[in-house]
Structure 1
């Protein structure tokens, strides 16, 4: 009975694709099949990117998106690939998803990602949490190693990065050697432009999406795709209503960030040096801050400012 139900869903995919295209103008929906040994039409992969999501992300969201994959839980084997962006409040915003047989470069290029081919000028970051997970396998009993590695990843400039790498070296040479083999430059903010306007160094946002659609991964294919679509719609609508009902000048997320920085400013000394330009001294380091341009030579301000260009996290 389960096999028969799955077969029915696969047989409806062409009609489902046409219905999506008819009801969602300018969307991209792709279906690929191949001929089986018995001459039958066999499902290969399915990709969907709704025009509303694509246009909204381009117009209003932060220019960064994460890529991730998770296994399907139904009797049909396969994986769900997702591209998840961040809205202006730094919250999850789904962009596109695909169902494929395995997570491979070919499937990423076909469906969601072609970083080196289609987007050659886009910066490509790696998830610091995944790099740390591999590091932890080699040093399982060093609980204090996590904080030191995270400081390396969260370094906003080269001076911070070099100092924190030296701290890891002084902490344990074997940990330092393992960390450098994983090349922390792939996930450290010091080596990327602030154009993503996001200072998060992990790809947890994509995994949050996978968790949000977890019940759907046990469903037959068309039902799964429809459930993901509807959950995305409900989530976006709920976010919109919360934003419309909010009465503050800034979002709650932004105010949390400002409050956090206010606590840190007690350790700074500020020297005015021109119109809306200040020298800020923090311990033994000094930085130039330009209020009009919203920049600071520490690179932290523009790294979490408003969207300007594009960046990708894997």
Structure 2
């Protein structure tokens, strides 16, 4: 101001001017909370499939009601997830950087290209067991409870307890990065301990897991004792269920989406919701147009994973047993696995766990002169990707 207009102002005055400008551009936060009911009705009016829930708090009749929590799930995201995504959901919470504070809860799926698919959102005052229960219950009502789901999350306050209550209908996995952070606080880090823990988590069959855990026990018995208390089904691939066709160990999909919406988290509530809505509209339309330039049946990211298995299949030698069953042995006779092409299974569990033929299965398929692309699960195909992004938001 001094250089351009030859006017001297104080820092406080410049700060107040900035607040006035932000209020003009982004809207007044107080008025937006008062207008949230009209915004919710407008979302329902333009699309009856949109789910919008508002909770208010009123401690006593003499006190004016105040905002409690706000949940919204757009119809296009809901239908895209149900028809085109695997039953795998990442959930996370992040801070809102406004004068009122609060938390934004998010639920994110995985599309046919193994990328994040935003699903549902909730604005709450704090991350508590009650707020997470409210959010998860509304999410389950939207996506339906006719199939079993797998959720992955950090160990947020109250969230683990909610998943334990719902263990009959869902499974819960822990993000390995945060599990290791807790592990490191107790026993310290170090490349050896980290690699052994990661190796145990990544082992797709029981024998490999036992080998890594025994090495960890020899290196640090206390760390081994602590880790053995954690249920293996929540952090080890060999104990994961096969039906979601997802072997991810970290909640990267939620963290990636949190990073994407970082620019919106310092805005008033309705401005933030509109930013998210417009971003989702653009993402759905842009992703749908990408199919025009992709000629293959299997989407790019899972196809790269299949190509890696094909590349590594050269070290494996198949021996035909009977019907469509093979014994596949490493060229140095260090390991051997049983592949059943008819059942689309391998004793290493990778094929059933991920839905993509492992290197042992690729070796057996090559013996029969069959194309591995034809044995990739349907969840990675162009058709599923088109269903993910074929609905308007």
**How far apart, in 2, do the equivalents of 1:65 and 1:183 lie?**
19
Mapped contact 2:88–2:244 kept (Cα < 8 A): yes
User: In structure 2, what is the equivalent of residue 311 of structure 1?
Assistant: none
TM-aligned CA deviation for residue 270 of structure 1: 1.0
TM-aligned CA deviation for residue 198 of structure 1: 0.7
Among 286, 291, 294, the residue aligned to 2:344: 294
**How far apart, in 1, do the equivalents of 2:303 and 2:34 lie?**
50
2:308 aligned with 1:260: yes
User: In structure 2, what is the equivalent of residue 128 of structure 1?
Assistant: 176
Superposed CA RMSD: 2.3
**How far apart, in 2, do the equivalents of 1:227 and 1:119 lie?**
34
**How far apart, in 2, do the equivalents of 1:169 and 1:278 lie?**
35
SS in 2 for 1:222: helix
Post-superposition CA distance 1:56-110 (Å, at most 9, x none): 1111111100111111111111101111000011110011010001111211111
2:235 aligned with 1:187: yes
What pairs up with 1:226-265 in 2 under 5 angstroms? 226-265=274-313
What pairs up with 1:265-280 in 2 under 5 angstroms? 265-280=313-328
SS in 2 for 1:259: helix
SS in 2 for 1:298: coil
Among 243, 248, 264, the residue aligned to 1:200: 248
TM-aligned CA deviation for residue 205 of structure 1: 0.7
**How far apart, in 1, do the equivalents of 2:195 and 2:232 lie?**
14
Q: 1:55 to 1:123 in 2, by over 3 A?
A: same
Among 11, 23, 43, the residue aligned to 1:20: 43
2:78 aligned with 1:54: yes
TM-aligned CA deviation for residue 307 of structure 1: 7.0
**How far apart, in 1, do the equivalents of 2:91 and 2:36 lie?**
25
**How far apart, in 1, do the equivalents of 2:302 and 2:231 lie?**
32
**How far apart, in 2, do the equivalents of 1:118 and 1:77 lie?**
29
Q: 1:26 to 1:269 in 2, by over 3 A?
A: same
Mapped contact 2:97–2:265 kept (Cα < 8 A): yes
Of residues 31-40 and 175-184 in structure 1, the stretch that sits farther from structure 2 once superposed is 175-184
Among 90, 93, 111, the residue aligned to 2:114: 90
**How far apart, in 2, do the equivalents of 1:118 and 1:176 lie?**
29
Consecutive unaligned residues of structure 2, counting only runs of 5 or more, are: 1-19, 138-161, 356-376, 380-393
2:55 aligned with 1:5: no
Between Structure 1 and Structure 2, the one with more helix by share is 2
**Bigger radius of gyration:** 2
Mapped contact 2:112–2:299 kept (Cα < 8 A): no
**How far apart, in 2, do the equivalents of 1:251 and 1:303 lie?**
18
Of residues 298-307 and 8-17 in structure 1, the stretch that sits farther from structure 2 once superposed is 298-307
SS in 1 for 2:52: strand
**How far apart, in 1, do the equivalents of 2:266 and 2:313 lie?**
49
TM-aligned CA deviation for residue 53 of structure 1: 1.2
Between Structure 1 and Structure 2, the one with more strand by share is 1
2:111 aligned with 1:111: no
Among 219, 239, 248, the residue aligned to 1:171: 219
Mapped contact 1:62–1:307 kept (Cα < 8 A): no
Mapped contact 2:69–2:123 kept (Cα < 8 A): yes
User: In structure 1, what is the equivalent of residue 13 of structure 2?
Assistant: none
Q: Tell me the TM-score normalised to structure 2 length.
A: 0.73
Consecutive unaligned residues of structure 1, counting only runs of 5 or more, are: 309-314
**How far apart, in 1, do the equivalents of 2:224 and 2:262 lie?**
37
Q: Tell me the TM-score normalised to structure 1 length.
A: 0.90
Aligned length: 308
TM-aligned CA deviation for residue 119 of structure 1: 6.5
2:114 aligned with 1:64: no
